[in-house]
Amino acid sequence: MFVSFLFPCCLLLSYSARMKQPYQFYAVVLPGLEPLATKELTSLSAHDIRSEQGGVRFAGTLDTLYRVSLRARCITRIQVRVGKCHAMALPELQHHVANMSWERFIPKGAKVSVQASAEKSKLMHTDKIAECVLAGIQDALGKRLDKEDGSEQHVYVHITNNRCDIRIDASGERLDRRGYRLASAKAPMRETLAAGVLQWMDWKVDEPLLVPMCGSGTLAIEAALLGRKIASNMQHAFPFKDWDVFKEKSWLRVLEKTTAMAKDALPLKIEVSDVHVGALAASKENAERAGVLADLNVQQQDVCKLKPAKDGEAGLIVCNPPYGLRIEMDGVKFYRELGHVLRDSFVGWRVAVMCPDWKHEKALSLPVRKRLRVKHGGLWLDVLDVSSNDVWSK
């Protein structure tokens, strides 16, 4: 259970507080994407990386925060640890919170919310925990409470076995909300999952990519952004820019380097199709907002009649078939037909298929090389690597 409280405040900060030891971060990810997020964080020079279900802990400088916030593709949000403590009673917790350095993060006039969760601890009432942390922050900042005319700042309190981990959100809106998907199909795929599947399948920019049943175009758009090295969150509004520890010059330096990495044009081979005209229109609108429409070849095509281009080289096909809310027909029957299409026409291709349960997997009737199990939309989903092998050609 979560509870949210708002209050305004203002504060001052000494420069020396910025120069202390590296920051401790927590990356929230879709359960199942932790290995991919870990790989991303390693490539972005994070250190002390430790994975757990639904998240990855790591350490680094403020530059690390800026770099990961802009360029990570599989991460939902980033939190920064303000402090940690041991507490078995509310007065004890409030005392510890009051002695944390809130002035580093909460700007003048901020609207601050507190969310609490607890397990296996003396303190279990999340409403009271949130009230207590709020009171501790007020104690730390004194009585300087201005009108609520500043930025929103969100504080998260996690208590496990009486150990309290207190963090502040650095992302604001979720990082999977890139800003380009305004036109949407039924039950769209999260951008973080789309990027994760492409990385899990180790897609390379010179490899043909086929995306049937494209829906809102998320998979294809994420592929084009990945291929052209366009950072995922260049237009994102980050709350850390209002923190007192925020370093404008460092931010601009990271931003400049990130911008310089992007390629203006590449001969990407991304084929996008759907049987529904509305889905194609949504894909085109979203791709145009993302600045990658020219990188996609969008056409109307029934997946049951799908075939690779004549004399074309084999590549990767990623299928996110409709299921649940996205389908108006027998889902198992549809997966069976999809399996026939892949077996008959795509021998030699690498293939990934999203699958909601074992019945659909059985209907697909293709040998599974590996699987990625991810929690998406509150439900577990298997991404199956059913790339063609000797079994297909028999």
What residues have CB less than 8 Å from 148, skipping those under 6 apart? 6, 7, 8, 109, 111
Q: For residue 251, tell me if it sits in a domain.
A: no
Domain encompassing residue 162: 15-169
User: What pairing do the DSSP bridges indicate for beta strands 379-385 and 209-211?
Assistant: unpaired
* 21 lies in the same domain as 63: yes
Residue 151, pLDDT score: 82
* 164 lies in the same domain as 195: no
Residue 317, pLDDT score: 98
Q: What is the CATH number of the domain that holds 349?
A: 3.40.50.150
- The label of the residue with tokens 């299928």 reads 319
* 154 lies in the same domain as 196: no
* 198 lies in the same domain as 105: no
- The label of the residue with tokens 């999977």 reads 176
Residue 20, pLDDT score: 44
What residues have CB less than 8 Å from 8, skipping those under 6 apart? 109, 110, 111, 112, 145, 146, 147, 148, 149, 150
Residue 21, pLDDT score: 59
Residue 264, pLDDT score: 84
**Any alpha helices (H) in the chain, and if so which ranges?**
34-43, 62-71, 90-98, 126-141, 191-200, 218-227, 248-261, 277-290, 331-345, 358-364
Q: For residue 62, tell me if it sits in a domain.
A: yes
Weakly modelled stretches of the chain, pLDDT under 50: 1-20, 145, 326, 394
Residue 198, pLDDT score: 99
Q: What is the CATH number of the domain that holds 39?
A: 3.30.2130.30
Query: How do residues 215-252 score in pLDDT, each as one tens digit?
Result: 999 999 999 999 999 999 999 999 999 999 999 999 99
Residue 28, pLDDT score: 98
* 221 lies in the same domain as 100: no
Structural domain total, the chain:
2
Q: For residue 177, tell me if it sits in a domain.
A: no
Please count the other Cβ atoms lying within 10 Å of the Cβ belonging to residue 4: 13
Residue 145, pLDDT score: 46
- The label of the residue with tokens 């010059």 reads 249
Query: How do residues 153-178 score in pLDDT, each as one tens digit?
Result: 999 999 999 999 999 999 999 999 99
* 219 lies in the same domain as 100: no
Q: How far apart are CA 169 and CA 61, in angstroms?
A: 16
* 27 lies in the same domain as 91: yes
Q: How far apart are CA 375 and CA 353, in angstroms?
A: 15
